[in-house]
Amino acid sequence: MIKKISDKDKEDWENFLKNKKKTTYTDTVKNNNLSDRIIIKVSDKDKQDWENFIKNKEKIPNKDFVGKKKVRHEKIKKIDLHGHTIEEANKVVEKFIQKCFDEDVTKIIVITGKGLRSKNVENPYLSKDLSILKYSVPEFIESNLSLTKMIIEITDAKIGDGGSGAFYIYLKNKFKIK
């Protein structure tokens, strides 16, 4: 497809070529007259600065790569403790947290259940709260010094992840631990 150049475009091009050495930047501003042309002249200092910039062999650092920190991507693992006794659950959780820490996992979802069907509730010699995994597992983790060194915090889970029958464990970065 060949497009014909209008007389106005030819005139503009000729003016550009004539003024090429005088200016390096033109800008069209549409005023009330709709076709006023304003020519902005570049100062000698700006021209000199540009020439120096072009001649300079020093490389400009790429902003996309300079100072880019290593981002720790979220890695999530789950463990379900339904059907475990307190002792079994504590052992399993301890091993699981250590394994996840070694694998640089960022968040663990621990599903304990709400304890509504716990047979321990019927035993009058056991504390109702401490005999239910929902309460005893977080208590065990917080009292274990080797585990607390690996953990940032323990929080309640969102409804989609188990709600009141689960909790999150956020682990520290194993490369930054002292």
**Per-residue pLDDT reduced to its tens digit, 161-173:** 888 889 999 999 8
CB atoms within 10 A of CB 112: 25
Q: Whole-angstrom Cα distance, residue 77 to residue 96?
A: 9
| Between 61 and 149, the higher pLDDT residue | 149
pLDDT at 118: 57
pLDDT band at 34 (very low <50, low <70, confident <90, very high): very low
pLDDT digit string, tens, across residues 112-155: 887 666 555 555 444 444 457 888 899 999 999 999 999 999 99
Q: Is the pLDDT of residue 27 over 70?
A: no
Task: Give the CA diameter of the chain.
Answer: 102
List alpha helices for 64-125, DSSP H: 86-102
Condensed to tens digits (0 to 9), the pLDDT of residues 64-83 reads 666 666 667 888 999 999 88
Strands (E), the chain: 25-28, 37-40, 76-80, 107-111, 151-156, 166-171
Question: Percent of the chain beyond pLDDT 70?
Answer: 70
CA angle 92/80/125 to nearest 5° reads 70
Task: Give the chain's length.
Answer: 178
More confident residue, 126 or 60: 60
The pLDDT-based confidence of 158 (bands split at 50, 70, 90) is very high
Q: What are phi and psi of 17, to 5 degrees?
A: -65, -35
Mean pLDDT of 42-59: 81
